[in-house]
Chains A and B, each alone.
Chain A
Amino acid sequence: MNDSLPPTLPAEAAAPGRPDGPQRPGSRSARTAALGNIRASLRRTYLLFVLLAIIVIGFIATPDFLTTRNATNVISFSAIVAVLAVGQFFVVLTGGIDLSVGSIVAISTVVSALLMQRGLPAGVAVLAALVTAAVVGLLNGVLIVYLGLAPFIATLATLSMVQGASYIIQSTSLIQIQNTAFVDWFSDGSWLGLPNPVSIFIIVMLVAAFVARYTTFGRRLYALGGNREAARLSGLPVNRDLLLTYVLSGLLAGLAGLLAAAQLLQGSSLIGQSYNLDAIAAVVVGGASLVGGRGDPISAVIGCFIISIITNIMNLIGISSEPQLVIKGVVIIIAVFLSSAGGVARIGGALRRRSPGTRKRQSTAQPV
């Protein structure tokens, strides 16, 4: 049986019940580990490929696309959604969803703008905004974990409550931001040649990727999302971790709000309404499963950029906003079908059924 296997696949144990002889764990496992990593990064490679293809399309479509100015605008704007996408990724990883992030962005802008208007230093305003955002996240977590509400329902309710609350706090039509330090930190300033928003989202993305991949917290979240009961039976602090995840999502939404406030130079309860769909779309385009247990933060950010660049191209070409929404929806369907819903495998399967008895295509299903 071992002879018929292609050389790259490790040979199966010959004798049933016990593995054959002394294995050489180094070479065999290293090969399979490499294969496993390749499969995981295949998804990411495919995503980068798509991103590249879109950039090429943009370059062909309009001369305004590949300019420094446009690129800076797009990336700075995308930074906001990218930070949101990272927070949403962790929530989706646990099999949940956070619909309230748009509103948390709004209240974050309002709280920070208000405090700075009253003359408080930027640092205090930032802290207050982040604390507020984290508290909202905690509220979400409590509703979901201790009241047992479905995440969809709980965060939908919070969305509404927080938007109302930010409007009440705001009390005027909008609050101007004039604090130069704040604007410098979160929008105009740069560090080592990179605009601050860019540095911020890159740092957030890298830290998140590290946490997800290399820390015990990350491992616990993957387990939680993959099979909550198995995680519980293994003694993992499921409730506590879920709570933390929603607090984290809130906190990152708060940070995104600070970026938005600095960019728009205002605090308003109307900011951020469209961010919900964008963040969730970014996460699923990036290959995470809404059922939980799969994906990674970097793919979510790539997903975010795929969507925002498509939007940017449509803007530059001059497509008006309503057709843009239609196109965005179609793009999301195609992207999700191909990545999360296993579209590539299914298309292959359907083609195979057309011609029975041919050995060319083999099923990718797992043998039992």
Chain B
Amino acid sequence: MTVGAAGAGSDSGVDVSALRIRGITKAYVGVPALKGVDLTLQRGSIHALAGQNGAGKSTLVKILSGAELPDDGSIEVQGRRVVFRSPQDAQDAGVQTIYQELSLVPQLSVAENVLLGNLPRGGLRTVSWATMKAQAREALERVGFALDVSAVVGALSVAEQQAVELAKAIHRDAKVLLLDEPTSTLPPPDVRRLFEVLESLAADGVSMIYISHRMEELYSLCDAVSVLRDGRLAESFDTRSSTPSQVVSAMVGRSLRGSLAESALSGDRSPKIGTGARGPVLMSARGLTETGEYEDVSFDLHQGEVLGIAGLVGSGQSELASCLAGARTRTSGTTAVDGSDADLNSPREAIRRGIGLLPQDRKATGFVPDMSVAGNITLASLPMFSRWSVRDERREKAEARRLADRLGMRISSVDQPMKTLSGGTQQKAILARWLVRSARVLICDEPTRGVDVGAKEDIYELLREFAAEGGTVVIASSEIPEALMCDRVLVMASGRLVAELDHADIDPRGEAIIQRFA
């Protein structure tokens, strides 16, 4: 099934589509990832690609960017059949990929990054710095950003780094741009600016495939949305004549009407995770400060409540959350648990008091990749499953299986290595780690980042259950819909606590929170 959506500014004379893929099929060791995907991308069109983790999006990106070879199928760029045996082939054909993590060298300058691999040569085969800077400036102009081309990339903001990445792609004469979740770390004003840049590039004839899970963005930026599900192209929609709910339903294969995740995605008013309960003070913080991250934060955490800490990426809420869980050391300030002073200066300390952390960067700090699911789930409670230091593996696995079932984890066995799981399932496993110990407080740092729709719903539901059974939850998040699910929200801006809002005091769109970010 193909969709050709006329993009803004598509040339009348040129009929050839920018990119056409037919029958792309790919399997990994017997497990099919893509099963005959067809897609047509018109020149100058911005085409969204939606789908859960595991639906095949990442595999498709890998194939289009040249990192993987498809088992079957064909790719045509501007009517010409191409085979990408390496990323270099894809780039030579004009297909540039902007990855979520960006692929810049932080220690080098803007100009060097824009011309990476294409450094212009002067006499005696040395680098011609003047030409390089001029070309870099030109590329940046096309992207609409004025940056100092001698600046070191590592010192730039995320939005500026992304502009450099775009300039690099433009300099390489990109005809097709693949953008993988470009806005996950961008604050709202930079998102708008990015959209302006992308729209102007589209008007110039650059075609784009835009991958994101944020429906509002897809609908404001893109001409069409194609939904991948279970390795097939399930449905395509024209954004002018469809709604986000339809896309979400197509992603999951069932109607998610009225669910938490759907509301979160479509921007409707999010139902609450919290029960509104407000028991005695469980944990209190006074004057918490960590130089350079947050300053003078004081608040009380009540038993049974769901407390949100909302802020733009980089406002300190993440670091604050880690500090509460003992994962970061603070510079000054005190914390008390159950009324008595508690230093919480190591994860062990916090865990002993029943506090568990779901860290932001799962892959880097959340789990041991080569270790089994059972091993990861029982990692914080080894003494519980052993006698005289000898592990009872059967009991470990039984408990892991029990939790995996209860949390709805999509795994074939608890012996699977953690790295083979999807993002959402990994997050559930980390949650399970704390459930094994009957943790009292769950501190979640961006709990659904990189998590697909179905699992997002599950995670919100699990947190809601946890709260309903008397547990206390702290959610540090840069996603407004998640803040709206909490009983109370602490708003952080530039490291300071600027507001404390009750659920009832926040409007459905979260304006009350967004305003405070300024």
Chain A interface residues (CB < 8 Å from chain B): 1, 4-6, 9-13, 16-19, 23, 25, 28-29, 31-33, 36, 214-217, 219-220, 222-223, 226-227, 229-237, 293-294, 352-353, 356-357, 359, 362-368
Contact = CB atoms under 8 A, between A and B. Distances in A.
B30 A362 contact: yes
A233 B457 contact: no
Interface stretch (B4-12, B195-203, B295-303, B405-413): B405-413
Interface residues of B, number: 68
Contacts of A362: 27-30, 71
Contacts of B413: 10, 28-29, 31-33, 36
A263 to B, nearest CB: 34
A294 B252 contact: no
B408 to A, nearest CB: 5
B30 A5 contact: yes
A273 B379 CA distance: 39
A32 to B, nearest CB: 3
Nearest to A349: B69
Interface string B374-417: 01000110110010011101000100010001001110111110
The prevalent SS among residues of B at the interface is: mixed
B28 A365 contact: yes
A9 B31 contact: yes
B458 A17 contact: yes
Interface string B47-58: 000001110001
Nearest to A36: B415
Contacts of B19: none
Contact of B401 (A11, A29, A237, A365): A29
Nearest to A233: B347
Contacts of B391: 214-216, 219
Q: Is the interface of A mostly helix, strand, loop or mixed?
A: loop
Contacts of B401: 25, 29
Contacts of A363: 28-29, 68
Contact of A232 (B28, B69, B347, B416): B347
B349 to A, nearest CB: 9
A366 B348 contact: no
10 contacts: A25-B401, A215-B386, A215-B391, A219-B379, A226-B369, A227-B364, A234-B379, A293-B369, A293-B371, A363-B29
Contacts of A12: 31, 410, 412
Given A1-B32, A32-B416, A368-B59, A235 B380 contact: yes
A214 to B, nearest CB: 6
A219 B389 CA distance: 10
B3 interface: no
A363 B391 CA distance: 35
Contacts of B405: 19, 23
Contacts of B422: 368
B433 interface: yes
A211 to B, nearest CB: 9
Nearest to B231: A1
B515 interface: no
Contacts of B372: 36
Interface string B221-264: 00000000010000000000000000000001110000000000
A223 B420 contact: no
B390 A215 contact: yes
The 9 closest A-B pairs by CB, nearest first: A32-B413, A226-B368, A17-B454, A235-B351, A10-B412, A229-B365, A234-B380, A368-B58, A234-B379
A237 B357 CA distance: 17
B415 A19 contact: no
Contacts of B458: 17
A291 to B, nearest CB: 10
A367 to B, nearest CB: 5
Contacts of A227: 364-365, 367-369
A357 B83 CA distance: 10
Interface string B297-322: 00000000000000000000000000
Contacts of B365: 227, 229-230, 233
